[in-house]
């Protein structure tokens, strides 16, 4: 069976998840006499070169003020029931991915902050913030943007806006006895 040009031009549906890696940074911040570590997720890497093995971190940069770790083994999953949230995210001035992290206060090194979830759903990220999880927003990389956009175009059907029929209060009030209004009651 030969393919027609139409068949060749039709793109296949995107997968519902892709592997991603997260770049996490630890900076030394002075607070008076004390030096504290401040952790932050600074970037997400998505694309064909991303390794999807078990979750682990690799030190990729270190100097006197900063250490950067690249976490692999994470996936960005999309769900049809969250397409509206993805759409609003894509329509914003700067689309973001949200990295949800756990903090291990007892340990030093790369395990002190580790990403556990990456999402494009603003509502899911807000839910994690409400339960005091650490949530970092990072600009959505171009490959992830194209993939999320394709997923939304394939799966999102906006709800049609309907005009509400106005209630006719006058007809309903005919059944109620008319009373005079004396103004507010003063005591």
pLDDT of residue 30: 81
Q: Where are the domains of the chain?
A: 15-155
Mean pLDDT of 10-28: 81
pLDDT of residue 8: 39
Length of the chain counted residue by residue: 187
User: Residue 45 in 3-state DSSP?
Assistant: strand
pLDDT tens for 125-139 read 999 999 989 999 999
pLDDT of residue 20: 92
pLDDT of residue 142 exceeding 90: yes
pLDDT of residue 107: 56
pLDDT tens for 30-85 read 888 887 888 999 999 987 777 767 778 888 888 888 899 999 889 999 999 999 99
- Asked whether the CA dihedral 135, 93, 72, 148 is positive or negative, the reply is positive
How far apart, in Å, are the Cα atoms of 144 and each of 78, 91, 172?
A: 11, 14, 55
167: Cα separation from own chain's centroid: 39
pLDDT of residue 10 exceeding 60: no
pLDDT of residue 145 exceeding 80: yes
pLDDT of residue 7: 38
Whole-model pTM? 0.74
Q: Are 56 and 73 spatial neighbours (Cβ–Cβ below 8 Å)?
A: yes
User: Which pLDDT band, with edges at 50, 70 and 90, does 144 fall under?
Assistant: very high
Percent of the chain having pLDDT more than 90? Answer: 42
User: Which pLDDT band, with edges at 50, 70 and 90, does 98 fall under?
Assistant: very high
Please report where in the chains the tokens 């939304």 appear, as a residue: 152
């Amino acid at each position: 069976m030969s393919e027609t040009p139409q068949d060749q031009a039709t793109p296949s549906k995107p997968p519902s998840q892709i592997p991603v890696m997260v770049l996490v940074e630890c900076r030394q911040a002075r607070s008076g006499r004390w030096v504290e570590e401040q952790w932050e997720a600074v970037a997400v890497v998505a694309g064909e070169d991303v390794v999807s093995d078990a979750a682990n971190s690799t030190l990729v940069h270190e100097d006197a003020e900063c250490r950067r770790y690249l976490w692999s083994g994470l996936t960005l999953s999309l769900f049809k029931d969250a397409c509206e949230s993805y759409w609003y995210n894509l329509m914003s001035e700067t689309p973001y991915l949200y990295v949800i992290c756990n903090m291990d206060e007892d340990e030093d090194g790369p395990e002190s902050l580790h990403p556990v979830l990456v999402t494009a759903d603003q509502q899911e990220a807000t839910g994690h913030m409400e339960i005091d999880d650490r949530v970092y927003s990072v600009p959505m990389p171009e490959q992830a943007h194209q993939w999320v956009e394709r997923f939304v175009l394939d799966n999102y059907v906006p709800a049609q806006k309907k005009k509400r029929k106005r209630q006719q209060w006058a007809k309903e009030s005919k059944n109620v006895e008319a009373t005079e209004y004396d103004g507010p009651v003063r005591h």
